[in-house]
Amino acid sequence: MSAKFHFINHACFTIEKNGSTIIFDPFLDGNPEGLTAKDFKVDHVFISHAHFDHLGSAFEIAKNCDATVISTAEVCGLAEAAGCKNHGMHLGGTFRFPFGKVRIAMAFHGSGVAGGHACGFIIDFYGTTFYFAGDTALYSDMQLLQTLDKFAYAILPIGGNFTMDPQDAAIAAKFLKAKYVIPIHYNTWPPITQDVNAYKANVEKSTSSKVLVVKPGKTIEME
Ligand code: NI
Ligand code: MN
- DSSP labels, 142-164: GGGHHHHS--SEEEEE---SSS-
Distance in angstroms (rounded) separating the CA atoms of residues 60 and 40: 10
**Average pLDDT of span 144-152:** 97
Q: Which of 87, 179, 192 is nearest to 135 (CA)?
A: 192
Confidence at residue 63, expressed as pLDDT on a 0 to 100 scale = 98
- What pLDDT was estimated at residue 1? 76
Mean of the per-residue pLDDT values of the chain: 98
Distance 2 CA to ligand 2 centre (A): 29
Percent of the chain predicted with pLDDT > 90: 99
pLDDT at 36 over 90: yes
Distances from the Cα of 74 to the Cαs of 22, 77, 90, 198, in angstroms?
20, 5, 9, 37
Half-sphere exposure of 51 (CA within 13 A, CB side): 17
pLDDT of 23 above 80: yes
**Confidence (pLDDT) at 31:** 98
pLDDT of residue 19 exceeding 80, the answer is: yes
Q: Percentage of the chain with pLDDT > 70? A: 100
- Average pLDDT on 159-181 reads 98
Length of the chain: 223
Ligand closest to Cα of 110 equals 1
Which residues lie across from 24 on neighbouring strands? 13, 46
Which bound ligand lies closest to the C-alpha atom of 184? Answer: 2
Distance 128 CA to ligand 2 centre (A): 25
Dist. CA 101–CA 1, nearest whole Å = 18
The rounded Å distance from CA 182 to ligand 2 centre is: 16
DSSP H stretches of helix in the chain: 52-55, 58-65, 73-81, 145-148, 166-176, 196-206
Amino acid identity at 212? L
Residue 44 has pLDDT above 90, yes or no: yes
* Cα 208 to ligand 2 centre (Å): 27
Mean pLDDT of 193-200: 98
pLDDT (mean) for 109-126: 96
Residue 156's closest CA among 191, 187, 180, 129? Answer: 180
Q: Please list, in sequence order, all residues whose beta carbon lies within 8 angstroms of the beta carbon of residue 151, skipping any fewer than 6 positions away.
A: 122, 123, 129, 130, 131, 145, 178
pTM: 0.98
Provide the pLDDT for residue 171.
Answer: 98
CA of 77 to the centre of ligand 1 (A): 18
Q: How far is the CA of 11 from the centre of ligand 1 (A)?
A: 10
pLDDT tens-digit readout, 52-101: 999 999 999 999 999 999 999 999 999 999 999 999 999 999 999 999 99
